Chain A
């Protein structure tokens, strides 16, 4: 791989993740509208929203940390995406995968939220502060079962490389979701909390906290957050597909698998009201944690 090939692969991966992430969000809005017996916005509505936010003419911020906060988010989204192998057995779409990328990703995936918490704290908006405390509590809630599920997979297959996991699944014609069902169940139950959809939307509770941490972010800051949100969303889905659902042999399979996986939190959120903070954390520490511990026991026996 020459330098230019790597650069091209990286840019193309980011572009495809951005576009498909925004389309997934559009599908989500449409699905929720149909469930609520509405017609709903067009599928490309999120592109128009991002374009509008980028064409805002005034963008104020309250300090350098707030100015940087959306940049932490997009740095996290892009760097998470770039350590995930997208297509099996392809050197072009393998991006920057290496032997220990699963461990690195566990760190990378919380980095942006922590940076954003600092930025949101600087706005001085009380809603932001409440949102940040809730968000960090919820993160403790879902990180524990999530990390334990991943560790169960790592122990069972004695590898910390995503490429090895995908290769094992492709060669044995099975999914780790069937081989290690308890870890998969734990990850599945944690997904709505990772996406912060209902019932876990305690952080960005529009009717309660006025959208919480991003309440003082407008204009291009908001546009940057929407862009990074779409990229990070696709990255998380691709990661779970790679670990549990056998990876993908082409981009088409990746899109199909991530979109079907994405429908789980979407449909779950469409019929659920919002948890209180302690309910959210206890619901994450009950069944997901039990499943993760079971998976860990099975993996190590």
Chain B
């Protein structure tokens, strides 16, 4: 009895651990507040908004379709292979099982990268097809490993008996052997489907523009905080699967079966059984299918007139895209990236022809240097007049002749601190090295930003390539490491809102948003100076729809559109006309969003320093991180 109780307790504990995060996500889907760090009251609005969010829904259906097709194809190939392997001689079987084990043993990242290199080498167009191939590849082993043991259990004579009774080999297989291995095939399929659904790393490396699975969509959002609609979608998915599972496994009449005398009771329960185990699941599946058609119809009306946009995650109001499509009749294929460094190889390899991309200053400089960008025809961008002169001037640091880029957003890097935790006035980067705030400091998790901050603190240029200066900065960063709570990118935002830390290094654009959510937060640009950055629209050399790209840029420079974007992403806009339209005085005159640049002489823009310096930075940063 005690043993039984302990067993139950143990099971319960594991279940709690297993499902705690899931319950958390479900709760977050009802959270009024957009950030996961704060509970803003109960709401169902995310569910409503989910179905209007075409990006998420189409990512969802892409995920389902890819998972389904990949799992089906893998099941077919894998089952056939398992049958063949079963009949092979020992040596061949060992060989095949070895091959099967490669994807299982191999690191996902290695597999993803190797496939990406292959696709690029063979000039395959990255997109739905390449993701599918990759998914089938890593799914097959799961199917083989599910089917093989079942095959081993089946009696060979059964197959021969079927042949003996006049069945053709095919009939014999499908009527006799196949039913025996169905559980294995099914579990292989389910496993493959689940793995596909859950995969991120491999999809990430093999996907192309305009296509997203849920995983990659979520990953681009991890930076900016995940959209609550995603929580809503996950909750719906999870609950649906759970209900299906319960229906399929719960058969109400089974208990009655033992009481053989109650034969009359069987009839209605049979109806119930069919209803529960067949009708409802089929209905749900059909519903999903129709949803798929509906959303794919909306997103797949491929106009020949299109523009392929590659932008930062969460860096544009989705409504703007719709408006652009409606006004111009040009379809936007929209994809998001997470860092400049991810963007660069995609552009330099030329594997994908983007029409408009939005890199940062130093990356633009690098692209210009490597002749990857096309000159913009400013005749097509009359709205350039709305962009402030100062910003065009700033741009000359990386685009000396203002030929290649149109500024989109800009900002500074500074310190965000919580007034309730930091009582002293914050003026210097030195607070990041203050023992008082041990475990309360959030540092930027990127080489340039971390070194930039430190170099500035030391009084050097943040574009320093002097090894002594860099070593000094490295040592300072290593000294700082024990004080740092975490190295993060845009999660500074959620963590600061949730009062997780006292001080964080943050982009000014994020600071505005965090202040809205948590009034205790204050942003300063330290007196030693800092980084001023500009993200600009550029057009790659291999763009196929250059003119559409220019139309798109022009559209974004329209004051009302720029305003809409500013309100959505809260990053400072260089569009002076748009700024004038801001209704809220506090925001329009915000020192954070629009600091008076003349007061800060020691603000610097990142420069591209060449591969060698890049590697030096990378190595030094690794030394910090691994210390």
Do A and B pair up? The answer is: no
**Chain B residues with a Cβ under 8 A of chain A:** none
Chain A residues proximal to chain B, CB less than 8 Å: none
